[in-house]
Amino acid sequence: MDFFAAVDDLQSDEESGAGMTSTLEFNSATYYRFAALNLDELAKNDHLGDAVFEDGTTSRTIETRKQVVKTFLKATIQAVPSARKTTMNGNTLPVYVLGVVREKGHPIQLVNAFETPVRPSTKGFAVESVNRMNIE
């Protein structure tokens, strides 16, 4: 729980004290994020296959598609929700990133690894969370 007091910048000289006082609840849980990228679909003309970029290059080359995938992965890993970013220091990057490349079939979903909650230990939550994903 975070107790805070906010200042009212437009408060008159006759008034004193905080403009607002309150509390906020927050947690520091382990979060599981998932993204799937179908490279065959991405290469089709109705998706990225026919894209033309600002510099005039097209996405028809494998190198350009690799760069798009690299940018997507970097953005996915580094994305941090903006809410309460400055007050709650929510700038934490993932402890662990797992990538799976498959030739066929549906995307792998590892959410079942957390059907039973990870309990705290002397090693924290991260080690057990990573172990569960690797087993799943």
pLDDT digits (tens, 9 = 90+) for 67-97: 888 999 999 998 877 777 777 777 788 889 9
Query: According to the model, what pLDDT value does residue 116 have?
Result: 92
Output the average pLDDT for the chain.
Answer: 81
Tokens of 25: 């609840």
Name the more confident of 25 and 122. Answer: 122
Percent of the chain scored above 90 by pLDDT?
A: 13
Tokens of 93: 């990057």
Name the more confident of 45 and 66. Answer: 66
Structural domain includes residue 46: yes
Query: According to the model, what pLDDT value does residue 60 have?
Result: 65
Structural domain includes residue 60: yes
Picking from 75, 89, 113, the residue whose alpha carbon sits closest to that of residue 28 is: 89
Structural domain includes residue 48: yes
pLDDT above 70 for 29: no
What single-letter amino acid sits at 92? T
Query: According to the model, what pLDDT value does residue 81 have?
Result: 73
Query: According to the model, what pLDDT value does residue 75 have?
Result: 92
Structural domain includes residue 116: no
Say if CB 118 and CB 125 are below 8 A apart.
yes
Structural domain includes residue 71: yes
**Domain count for the chain:** 1
Whole-number Cα distances in Å, 124 to 96, 97, 118, 128, 130: 14, 18, 10, 8, 11
pLDDT above 90 for 131: yes
Picking from 53, 51, 2, 55, the residue whose alpha carbon sits closest to that of residue 24 is: 2
0.75 cut: is pTM over it? no
Structural domain includes residue 86: yes
Cα torsion at 124, 127, 128, 132 (round to 10°)? 160
Name the more confident of 105 and 89. Answer: 105
Q: Cα(75)–Cα(34) distance, rounded to whole angstroms?
A: 13
Domain housing 49: 31-94
